[in-house]
Amino acid sequence: MPNPNNNMNVYKQALEINRKLKKENDKMRDVLVFSIQVLDGEFNKEVQSKDNIIGLIRHKIDEVLNGW
């Protein structure tokens, strides 16, 4: 018969791991959003096209943020 206390411990551990991963993900997302804001502000004309490195970087960051 399964031990309910063990199941609860596994559940709590999984929740804690999930919280840590979410926190890390939120930090990375914040950096990407900041990067897009800087690129848009500093290189407004260049980000309009993917034919240059600034525009390509901006496009790739946008793809990551939008889940491809």
Chain segment 38-66, per-residue pLDDT in tens: 999 999 999 999 999 999 999 999 999 99
Residue 13: inside a domain: no
User: Cα-flanking dihedrals φ and ψ of residue 49, to 5°?
Assistant: -135, 145
The answer to whether 7 and 33 have CB atoms below 8 angstroms apart is no
Greatest CA separation found in the chain? 66
Q: What is the pLDDT of residue 5?
A: 74
Q: Are 32 and 39 in contact (CB under 8 A)?
A: no
Q: What is the distance between the alpha carbons of residues 34 and 10, in angstroms, rounded to a whole number?
A: 36
At 48, the amino acid letter reads Q
> In terms of residue numbers, what domain contains 63?
30-68
| Number of domains observed in the structure of the chain | 1
pLDDT score of 48: 94
